[in-house]
């Protein structure tokens, strides 16, 4: 595989960052994900962290160096991440299970497979246009589907943050899956939280991600989304990947990654932890971060043993 990838997460104007983003790749498969902890519910950042670690650890176990069935993998691990969140809530005796949105994508054999629950989105950009993006599991999207609301009014609708599907919580998630989608040279797959896509237009998103390398375009897009959102800016997170066709004889860019030299059992993983923003919430020290990671890993380990 050959691709360019960049990810970044910002706090916005919130006290803390409840988003989690990650990418992980082996020699023949790539996983990307964005989880947006639901801030209106207790411990949303915990649900997002469990989901992100659960998916990346499952990918590392099973992509050796490829997944037998990427679509089935996503179906199974999103459902099991939901149950891992519920198990952790029981262990901690929380009054309710925390919740998170999630969008995840696997790229293998030159094709993309994705799945999502909630309103974190995946965009597929090709030749200067948006080919598709995921459909939000929100009340406003249902009203749009019924012809009762247009997209412009939906941005300011009071029910825009009401979701009917997520991981965690009291109801089983409604997980939506894509078909196998072959990628072409130069295609961009971008996953992001609603803090990114909410304040900006499709043209703004498209222009920023296609006018410059992703290492420049993603930060510019996050800056523009935060500027437009103003004092209400949510956490902003994106993982974006540009696919490079290996049959294309053109020279590779300095930022592109080729996995051909990787060992069969080797992985590269980047999972961004929470960053704290302005306000009275104190930063976690290293011991607290390590303790939280150990607790989450123990939750995932116990859940895997139960299956």
Mean pLDDT of successive 10-residue segments in the chain (307 residues)? Answer: 97 94 98 91 86 97 97 98 94 90 98 97 97 91 68 60 89 95 98 96 97 97 98 96 80 81 93 54 48 66 67
Write the CATH number for 126. 3.60.40.10
Neighbour count for residue 298 (Cβ, 10 Å): 12
Q: Report the residue count for the chain.
A: 307
Bridge pairing between strands 19-25 and 29-37? antiparallel
Q: Which of 186, 205, 238 is nearest to 130 (CA)?
A: 205
Burial of 280: CB neighbours in 10 Å, binned 0-12, 13-18, 19+: exposed
Q: What distance, in Å, lies between the first and last C-alpha atoms of the chain?
A: 33
Return the exposure string of 121-134: e unless at least 16 CB atoms fall within 10 Å of the residue's CB, then b. bbbbbbeeebeebb
- Are 207 and 224 a contacting pair, CB within 8 Å? no
Residue bearing tokens 């050959």 = 2
Is the pTM value of this prediction over 0.85?
Answer: yes
- Are 190 and 8 a contacting pair, CB within 8 Å? no
Neighbour count for residue 214 (Cβ, 10 Å): 24
Q: Which of 215, 7, 173, 221 is nearest to 105 (CA)?
A: 7
Tell me the backbone φ, ψ of residue 3, rounded to 5 degrees: -160, 165
- CA separation for the pair 28, 239 (Å, rounded): 19
Q: Which of 96, 103, 223, 232 is nearest to 160 (CA)?
A: 232
pLDDT at residue 288 in the model: 55
Residue bearing tokens 């895997």 = 304
Number of domains in the chain: 1
Bridge pairing between strands 167-168 and 268-272? unpaired
Domain of 162?
2-306
DSSP secondary structure of 166-217: -EESSS----EEPPPEE--TT-EEEEE-HHHHTTS-HHHHHHHHHSS-HHHH
């Amino acid at each position: 595989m050959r691709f360019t990838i960049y990810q970044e997460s910002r706090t916005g104007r919130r006290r803390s960052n409840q988003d989690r983003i990650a990418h992980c790749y082996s020699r023949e498969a790539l996983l990307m994900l964005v989880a947006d902890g639901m801030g209106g519910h207790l411990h949303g950042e915990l649900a997002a962290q469990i989901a992100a670690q659960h998916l990346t650890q499952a990918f590392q176990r099973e992509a050796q160096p490829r997944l037998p069935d990427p679509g089935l993998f996503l179906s199974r691990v999103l459902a099991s991440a939901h149950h891992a969140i519920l198990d952790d809530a029981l262990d901690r005796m929380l009054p309710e299970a925390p919740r998170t949105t999630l969008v995840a994508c696997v790229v293998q054999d030159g094709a993309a497979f994705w799945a999502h629950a909630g309103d974190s989105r995946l965009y597929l950009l090709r030749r200067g246009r948006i080919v598709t993006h995921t459909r939000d599991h929100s009340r406003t999207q249902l009203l749009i589907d019924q012809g009762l609301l247009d997209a412009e009014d939906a941005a300011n609708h009071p029910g825009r943050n009401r979701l009917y599907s997520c991981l965690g919580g009291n109801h089983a998630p409604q997980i939506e899956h894509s078909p196998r989608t072959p990628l072409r040279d130069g295609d961009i797959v971008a996953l992001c939280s609603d803090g990114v896509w909410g304040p900006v237009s499709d043209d703004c998103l498209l222009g920023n991600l296609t006018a410059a390398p992703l290492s420049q375009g993603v930060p510019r897009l996050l800056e523009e989304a935060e500027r437009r959102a103003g004092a209400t800016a949510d956490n902003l997170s994106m993982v974006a990947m540009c696919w490079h066709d290996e049959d294309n004889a053109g020279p590779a860019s300095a930022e592109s990654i080729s996995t051909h030299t990787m060992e069969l059992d080797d992985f590269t993983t980047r999972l961004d932890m929470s960053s704290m923003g302005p306000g009275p919430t104190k930063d976690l020290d290293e011991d607290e971060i390590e303790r939280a990671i150990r607790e989450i890993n123990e939750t995932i380990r116990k859940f895997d043993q139960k299956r």
